[in-house]
Amino acid sequence: MGKAHSNAYCQAPHFFDLPFTIKRRLLCGRDTASLAGMAQRWGWEETSTDWRSAIARSDIDAVDICLPNHLHAPVAIAAADAGKIVFCEKPLALSVADARKMADAAHRVQTLVWFNYRRVPAVAYARQLIDEGRLGTIFHYNATYKQQWGSDTSRAGTWKMDPSQAGSGVGDDLLTHLLDTALYLNGPITETVAKARVIAPNRAVDDAVMALVVFANGSAGTFEATRFGIGCKNRKTFEIHGSGGMLRFNLEDLNHLEFLDFSNPSSEQGVRDLLVTDMKHPIFGNFWRPGHIIGYEHTFITALAQFLQCLSKGEEFHPNFADGLAVQEVFDAVQRSAKTRQWTTVVRA
Amino acid sequence: MGKAHSNAYCQAPHFFDLPFTIKRRLLCGRDTASLAGMAQRWGWEETSTDWRSAIARSDIDAVDICLPNHLHAPVAIAAADAGKIVFCEKPLALSVADARKMADAAHRVQTLVWFNYRRVPAVAYARQLIDEGRLGTIFHYNATYKQQWGSDTSRAGTWKMDPSQAGSGVGDDLLTHLLDTALYLNGPITETVAKARVIAPNRAVDDAVMALVVFANGSAGTFEATRFGIGCKNRKTFEIHGSGGMLRFNLEDLNHLEFLDFSNPSSEQGVRDLLVTDMKHPIFGNFWRPGHIIGYEHTFITALAQFLQCLSKGEEFHPNFADGLAVQEVFDAVQRSAKTRQWTTVVRA
Amino acid sequence: MGKAHSNAYCQAPHFFDLPFTIKRRLLCGRDTASLAGMAQRWGWEETSTDWRSAIARSDIDAVDICLPNHLHAPVAIAAADAGKIVFCEKPLALSVADARKMADAAHRVQTLVWFNYRRVPAVAYARQLIDEGRLGTIFHYNATYKQQWGSDTSRAGTWKMDPSQAGSGVGDDLLTHLLDTALYLNGPITETVAKARVIAPNRAVDDAVMALVVFANGSAGTFEATRFGIGCKNRKTFEIHGSGGMLRFNLEDLNHLEFLDFSNPSSEQGVRDLLVTDMKHPIFGNFWRPGHIIGYEHTFITALAQFLQCLSKGEEFHPNFADGLAVQEVFDAVQRSAKTRQWTTVVRA
Amino acid sequence: MGKAHSNAYCQAPHFFDLPFTIKRRLLCGRDTASLAGMAQRWGWEETSTDWRSAIARSDIDAVDICLPNHLHAPVAIAAADAGKIVFCEKPLALSVADARKMADAAHRVQTLVWFNYRRVPAVAYARQLIDEGRLGTIFHYNATYKQQWGSDTSRAGTWKMDPSQAGSGVGDDLLTHLLDTALYLNGPITETVAKARVIAPNRAVDDAVMALVVFANGSAGTFEATRFGIGCKNRKTFEIHGSGGMLRFNLEDLNHLEFLDFSNPSSEQGVRDLLVTDMKHPIFGNFWRPGHIIGYEHTFITALAQFLQCLSKGEEFHPNFADGLAVQEVFDAVQRSAKTRQWTTVVRA
From D261's Cα to the closest Cα of chain C, the distance in A is: 8
**Structure confidence at residue C73 as a pLDDT band (50, 70, 90):** very high
Which of D241, D248, D258, D337 is the best mutation test for C, with the most CBs of C within 10 A? D241
Q: What pLDDT shows up at residue A157?
A: 74
CA B118 – CA B138 distance, rounded (Å): 19
Do A326 and A215 touch, CB atoms closer than 8 A?
no
ipTM: 0.96
C252·B294 Cβ contact <8 A:
no
Q: What pLDDT shows up at residue B157?
A: 74
Q: Which residues of chain B neighbour D283 with C-beta distances below 8 Å?
A: none
The CA angle B226-B232-B234, to the nearest 5 degrees, is 80
Please write the tens of the pLDDT for every residue from A62-101: 999 999 999 999 999 999 999 999 999 999 999 999 999 9
Strand partners, B249: B238
Q: Which residues of chain D neighbour C212 with C-beta distances below 8 Å?
A: 193-195, 210-212, 222
Please write the tens of the pLDDT for every residue from D161-208: 999 999 889 999 999 999 999 999 999 999 999 999 999 998 999 999
Check whether C157 has a pLDDT greater than 90.
no
**% of residues, chain B, pLDDT over 90:** 95
From D43's Cα to the closest Cα of chain A, the distance in A is: 9
* Mean pLDDT within B251-277: 98
Q: What pLDDT shows up at residue B1?
A: 82
C151·D246 Cβ contact <8 A:
no
CA C44 – CA C272 distance, rounded (Å): 44
D233·A298 Cβ contact <8 A:
no
* Mean pLDDT within A332-344: 98
Q: Which residues of chain B neighbour C41 with C-beta distances below 8 Å?
A: 13-14
Q: Across all residues in chain D, what is the average pLDDT?
A: 97
D246·C231 Cβ contact <8 A:
yes
Q: What pLDDT shows up at residue C98?
A: 97
A139·B230 Cβ contact <8 A:
yes
Nearest to C228 among D140, D193, D195 (CB): D140
The amino acid that residue D87 corresponds to is F
**Structure confidence at residue D153 as a pLDDT band (50, 70, 90):** confident
**Structure confidence at residue B158 as a pLDDT band (50, 70, 90):** confident
**Structure confidence at residue C274 as a pLDDT band (50, 70, 90):** very high
Which of D273, D280, D281, D289 is the best mutation test for B, with the most CBs of B within 10 A? D273
Which of D249, D297, D300 is the best mutation test for A, with the most CBs of A within 10 A? D297
Check whether D81 has a pLDDT greater than 90.
yes
Check whether C156 has a pLDDT greater than 80.
no
Nearest to C295 among B11, B41, B294 (CB): B294
Nearest to C252 among B42, B254, B275 (CB): B275
Do B287 and B276 touch, CB atoms closer than 8 A?
no
C233·B297 Cβ contact <8 A:
no
C211·D212 Cβ contact <8 A:
yes
CA D65 – CA D155 distance, rounded (Å): 23
Q: Label each residue of chain C as H, E or C.
A: CHHHHHHHHHHHHHHCCCCCCCCCCEEECCCHHHHHHHHHHHCCCEEECCHHHHHHCCCCCEEEECCCHHHHHHHHHHHHHCCCEEEECCCCCCCHHHHHHHHHHHHHCCEEECCHHHHCHHHHHHHHHHHCCCCCCEEEEEEEEECCHHHCHHHCCCHHHCHHHHCCCHHHHHHHHHHHHHHHHHCCEEEEEEEEECCCCCCCCCCEEEEEEEECCCCEEEEEEECCCCCCCCEEEEEEEECCEEEEEEHHHCCEEEEEECCCCHHHCCEEEEECCCCCCCCHHHCCCCCCCCCCHHHHHHHHHHHHHHHHHCCCCCCCHHHHHHHHHHHHHHHHHHHHCECEECCCC
The amino acid that residue C182 corresponds to is A
Q: What pLDDT shows up at residue C154?
A: 80
Q: Across all residues in chain A, what is the average pLDDT?
A: 97
Neighbours of C107 (CB within 10 A): 10
**Structure confidence at residue D305 as a pLDDT band (50, 70, 90):** very high
B&C contacts, CB < 8 Å: 91
Q: What pLDDT shows up at residue B109?
A: 96
From C27's Cα to the closest Cα of chain B, the distance in A is: 16
Choose the weakest-confidence range: B146-155, D13-22, D86-95, D198-207. B146-155
Please write the tens of the pLDDT for every residue from B132-157: 999 999 999 999 999 999 998 887 67
**% of residues, chain C, pLDDT over 90:** 95
**Structure confidence at residue D157 as a pLDDT band (50, 70, 90):** confident
**Structure confidence at residue A155 as a pLDDT band (50, 70, 90):** confident
Q: Which residues of chain D neighbour C271 with C-beta distances below 8 Å?
A: 231
Q: What pLDDT shows up at residue B155?
A: 75
Please write the tens of the pLDDT for every residue from A242-271: 999 999 999 999 999 999 999 999 999 999
Neighbours of chain C (3+ CB pairs under 8 A): A, B, D
D235·A289 Cβ contact <8 A:
no
Nearest to D231 among C151, C228, C246 (CB): C246
Please write the tens of the pLDDT for every residue from B60-113: 999 999 999 999 999 999 999 999 999 999 999 999 999 999 999 999 999 999
Find the residue in B nearest to C232 (Cα): B291
Q: Across all residues in chain B, what is the average pLDDT?
A: 97
Please write the tens of the pLDDT for every residue from A114-141: 999 999 999 999 999 999 999 999 999 9
- The contact set of B with D (CB < 8 A) is 125, 258-259, 261, 265-275, 278-281
Considering all CA atoms of chain A, what is the largest pairwise distance in Å, rounded to the nearest integer? 66
CA B1 – CA B87 distance, rounded (Å): 13
Please write the tens of the pLDDT for every residue from C311-346: 999 999 999 999 999 999 999 999 999 999 999 999
Strand partners, A257: A274
* Mean pLDDT within C200-222: 96
* Mean pLDDT within D288-294: 97
From D154's Cα to the closest Cα of chain C, the distance in A is: 15
Q: What pLDDT shows up at residue B153?
A: 80
Find the residue in D nearest to A4 (Cα): D288
CA B109 to the chain's CA centroid = 20
**Structure confidence at residue A153 as a pLDDT band (50, 70, 90):** confident
A199·B139 Cβ contact <8 A:
yes
Please write the tens of the pLDDT for every residue from B205-255: 999 999 999 999 999 999 999 999 999 999 999 999 999 999 999 999 999
D234·A292 Cβ contact <8 A:
yes
* Mean pLDDT within B115-123: 98
From D263's Cα to the closest Cα of chain B, the distance in A is: 13
**% of residues, chain B, pLDDT over 70:** 100
Candidates D52, D111, D54, D122; CA nearest to D87 is D111
Nearest to B341 among A199, A211, A343 (CB): A343
Check whether A317 has a pLDDT greater than 90.
yes
**Structure confidence at residue A154 as a pLDDT band (50, 70, 90):** confident
Check whether D155 has a pLDDT greater than 80.
no
CA C106 – CA C320 distance, rounded (Å): 10
CA B88 – CA B132 distance, rounded (Å): 31
